[in-house]
Structure 1
Amino acid sequence: MRIVTVGDNCMDVYTSSGKAYPGGNPVNVSVYLSGLGAEAAYVGWVGSDAYGEMMIDAIREKGVDTSRITRAEGRTAVTCVEMDGSDRRLGDYDEGVNAQFSLTAEDVHFIQAHELVHSGIWGHADPYFALFKEKGLLTSFDFSDRLQHELTESLPPYVDYPFFSYTLEDEYIRQRLRKVQGRGAKIAVATLGENGSLAYDGVQFYRCGVEQVNVVDTMGAGDSFIAGFLHARLQGRPVQECMEAGARTAAKTIGYFGAW
């Protein structure tokens, strides 16, 4: 199982403690997939600062292939994080060198050697998804909570597994999943926080709850769900089992500070 994630990364800096943890949706998904036993790689840019070196070292230590990470002149992206009980609130975001991210021909060639490619709404990789599909890759994309973003209209024909973040299982999210799946996706999925998750495959909806655990920090929960879901899906498991796998992976993540 060879999976590559592409796009943004950032250092999550907790304002209360000053501690910094590597993160960003594509980075997190690659790390979680590696932990599940997949052969995972990450393609992205970090800055020439100390955070850039920290990011590469941390990802590599988790078993992720970092050979296509570029160190660009400038700052590594930083997100300020504030804690509200066990929940985290994202504050100021400095995109740093990620603002100029693009793929080289060598990057695209490297990505083609994988079975599935994943990215997210802030990754600047969306322009390449038509090419990824043309090359025969399975594709996954995290739209986060941007359910009305213009990419939810243009990108689904090139995304097999689109993921969204929402809060409730209501008619609004059901309609959004129906629409996105109808534009070409195989399975459209929404994580609903403490209310579990919902998926639609064009035939029926699937519902999955959450595992009851002691919540320390919700950072990375959605990303770990995506990793668990994709790992199970590439093993050929049915939709319900994929959602349950995602819930198990997310439950582990919320038991400690930082995404991983």
Structure 2
Amino acid sequence: MKIVTLGDNCMDVYQVNDQAYPGGNPVNAAVYLKELGAEVAYIGWIGSDSYGELMREEIQGKGVDTTHLSTKKGKTAVTQVELHGNDRYFGEYDEGVMANFCLTEEEVEFVGTHQLVHSGIWGHAEDKYLLFKELGILTSFDFSDQLGHGLVKSLSPFVDYSFFSYTKDDDYIRQFLKEVKNRGSQIAVATLGENGSLAYDGERFYRSGTVATEIVDTMGAGDSFIAGFLFGTLKGLSIDECMELGSNTAAKTIGYFGAW
């Protein structure tokens, strides 16, 4: 099982204790997928600062292939994180060198040697998704909570597995997932926080609850759900089983500080 993730990375700096943890949806997904047993590579840019060095060391330490992680002169992306109880809230975001991220021809060829490619709404990789589909690999994309973003309409025809973040199972999100599916996605999925998750495959809706666990920090919960779901998909599991695996993976993530 070969998966490649690409796009945004950042250091999540917790103001409450001045600790910094590596993160970013594609990075988090790569680490979680590796922990589940997949062969995973990550493509992105880091700065020539100490945060960049830490980012590379930490990702490599998790066993993710970083041969296409490039260091560029400048700052590594940083997100300021505030904790309100056990929930995290994002403050100021400095995109650093990732603001100019783009894929080389060689990197696109490298992506094509994998079964599945995953990126997200801040990954700066959306312009290559038509090409990825032409290469015949499965595609996944995290639109986060940006349900009104223009990419939802323009990109979903080229995304097999579209992921969104919402709050509850209601008529709005069900109709929304139907529309995404009708535009071309194989499966449209929404994580609903404490209300579990919802998926639509064109025939029916699937529901999954959360796994009871002590919540320390919700950072990375959605990313770990996506990793579990994608891993289950490539293992040939049913949608119900993929959602259950996603929920179980997320439950582990919220039991400690930082995404991983």
TM range (shorter): over 0.9
For 2:259, the equivalent position in structure 1 comes to 259
What is the percentage of aligned positions where both structures have the same residue? 65
C-alpha distance in 1, partners of 2:37/2:153?
34
Q: Tell me, which stretches of 5 or more residues in structure 1 are unaligned?
A: none
Quote how far apart the aligned CAs of 1:109 are. Answer: 1.1
Range with greater deviation from structure 2 (104-113 or 196-205): 104-113
Aligned residue runs from structure 1 range 232-247, under 5 A: 232-247=232-247
Distance 1:172 1:52 in 2: 41
Q: Which residue of 2 aligns with 1:105?
A: 105
Whole-angstrom distance in 2 between the partners of 1:74 and 1:106: 23
Q: Aligned runs of 1:75-114 on 2, under 5 Å?
A: 75-114=75-114
Distance 1:156 1:80 in 2: 30
Amino acid at match of 2:161: Y
1:3-152 → structure 2 map (5 Å cutoff): 3-152=3-152
CA distance in 1, matches of 2:35, 2:125: 24
**Equivalent-residue separation in structure 2 for 1:44 and 1:110 (angstroms):** 13
With the length of structure 1 as denominator, give the TM-score of the two structures.
1.00
Specify the code of the residue in structure 1 equivalent to 2:216. Answer: V
Distance (whole Å) between structure 2 residues aligned to residue 235 and residue 136 of structure 1:
18
Matching residue of 1:231: 231
Q: Give the structure 2 partner of residue 174 of structure 1.
A: 174
What is the CA–CA distance in structure 2 between the aligned matches of 1:148 and 1:178, rounded to whole Å?
15
Using the alignment, how far apart are the partners of 1:37 and 1:115 within structure 2? Answer: 14
CA distance in 1, matches of 2:23, 2:107: 21
The letter for the 1-side match of 2:237 is R
Write the distance in 1 (CA, Å) between the matches of 2:17 and 2:106. Answer: 40
CA displacement, residues 151-210 of structure 1 (integer Å, 9 cap, x when unaligned): 000001100000000001001100110000111111000000000000000000000000
Q: Which residue type is aligned with residue 38 of structure 1?
A: A
Which SS does the other structure have where 1:130 is aligned? helix
**Number of positions where the alignment pairs a residue of Structure 1 with one of Structure 2:** 260
TM-score, scaled to structure 2: 1.00
User: What is the alpha-carbon distance in structure 1 between the residues aligned to residue 72 and residue 133 of structure 2?
Assistant: 28
Q: CA RMSD in A?
A: 0.4
Cα deviation for residue 45 of structure 1 reads 0.3
- Counterpart in 1 of 2:2? 2
Instruction: Compute the displacement of 1:82 (Å).
Output: 0.4
Query: C-alpha separation between the residues in 2 aligned to 1:225 and 1:92?
Result: 25
Letter in 2 for 1:218: T
User: Structure 2: where are the runs of 5+ without partners?
Assistant: none
**Aligned AA (1:179):** E
User: Which runs of 4 or more aligned residues in structure 1 lie more than 6 Å from their structure 2 counterparts after TM superposition?
Assistant: none
2-structure distance, mates of 1:120, 1:186: 17
Partner Cα separation in structure 2 for residue 99 and residue 82 of structure 1: 23
Give 1:116 shift.
0.1
Aligned residue for 2:216, secondary structure, equals coil
Q: After superposition, what is the alpha-carbon deviation per residue over 1:70-117, rounded to whole angstroms, capped at 9, x for unaligned?
A: 101100000000000000000000000010000001111111110000
In the alignment, the residues of structure 2 paired with residue 123 and residue 54 of structure 1 have an alpha-carbon distance, to the nearest angstrom, of 20
Matched, 1:193 2:204: no
Q: Which residue identity is paired with 1:9?
A: N
Displacement after TM superposition at 1:16 (Å): 1.0
1:223-242 alpha-carbon deviations (Å, 9 max, x no partner)? 00000000000011110000
Matched, 1:158 2:167: no
Aligned residue identity for 2:243: M
